């Protein structure tokens, strides 16, 4: 396995943007693992499958076409909420586990962001960052993102959704959102994206200096 950068954190913390910029900086492929769950949720809705039907949703996850991850509709607010609902299922997470591990196993290295990358998917990743921010800051970012995409959104509704997702992601029985013991905490509440990326870059470069490939 090459050098893996694992970024975890709650919704709208900035981890996806940081992951993309780290990937470009390092020349590594990037996987937004949240898109796997969004694509699974989208497949469930398209097939008329109840998102609470664990077995049926897990079957869709197992058959997921990774080429579907480029669909811009997956980044809508509705799909974010739907993804959080299907992600609570143990069988769904198990179905997507292999795809994530295979991505991480690339000898060239990889950057992966999600909620359980450093704790479950890549527990031995040499670089782990837990990206967070206040709920209010994250709600404002998500409001601005969705508004820029042309969605009619209300800040208070988004804030309530952020808090609901935080509670659901942190309390689920399987792979709950938590900071890995050896992950570096990066609070982006008062940071610009350039400052957040620079902080993450320094964390990764320090990890690379210590890295000894298998």
The full DSSP string for 81-135 is: HHHHHHTT-HHHHHHHHHHHHHHHT-TT-EEEEESSIIIII-TT-SEEEEEE--H
Total tally of structural domains belonging to the chain: 1
Would 44 be classed as within a structural domain?
Answer: yes
pLDDT in tens, 85-120: 899 999 999 999 989 999 999 998 999 999 999 999
- Return the pLDDT at 214: 62
How many CB atoms neighbour CB 182 within 10 A? Answer: 12
Residue 114's pLDDT is 94
Is residue 214 one of the residues assigned to a domain? no
CA distance 152 to 154: 7
Query: Around Cβ 73, how many Cβ atoms within 10 Å?
Result: 10
Q: Is the pLDDT of residue 150 over 70?
A: yes
Quick one: pLDDT band at residue 68, thresholds 50, 70, 90? confident
127-132 vs 4-8, strand pairing mode = parallel
Structural domain range at position 155: 4-209
| CATH number for the domain harbouring residue 64 | 3.40.50.300
How far the first Cα of the chain sits from its last, in Å, is 7
How sure is the predictor about 77, in pLDDT bands with cuts at 50, 70 and 90?
A: confident
């Amino acid at each position: 396995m090459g050098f893996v950068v694992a970024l975890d954190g709650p919704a709208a913390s900035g981890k996806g943007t940081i992951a993309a910029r780290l990937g470009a900086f390092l020349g590594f492929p990037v996987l937004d693992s949240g898109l796997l769950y969004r694509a699974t949720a989208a497949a469930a809705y398209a097939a008329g499958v109840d998102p609470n039907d664990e077995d049926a949703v897990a079957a869709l996850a197992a058959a997921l076409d990774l080429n579907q991850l480029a669909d811009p509709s997956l980044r809508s607010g509705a799909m974010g909420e739907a993804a959080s609902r299907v992600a609570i299922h143990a069988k769904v997470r198990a179905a997507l586990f292999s795809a994530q591990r295979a991505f991480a196993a690339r000898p060239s290295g990889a950057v992966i962001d999600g909620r359980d990358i450093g704790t479950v998917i890549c527990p031995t990743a040499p670089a782990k960052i837990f990206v967070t921010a206040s709920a209010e800051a994250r709600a404002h970012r998500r409001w601005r993102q969705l508004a820029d995409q042309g969605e009619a959104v209300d800040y208070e509704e988004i804030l309530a959704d952020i808090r609901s997702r935080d509670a659901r992601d942190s309390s689920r029985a399987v792979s709950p959102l938590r900071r890995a013991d050896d992950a570096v905490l990066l609070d982006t509440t008062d940071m610009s994206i350039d400052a957040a990326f620079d902080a993450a870059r320094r964390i990764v470069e320090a990890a690379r200096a210590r890295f000894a490939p298998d």
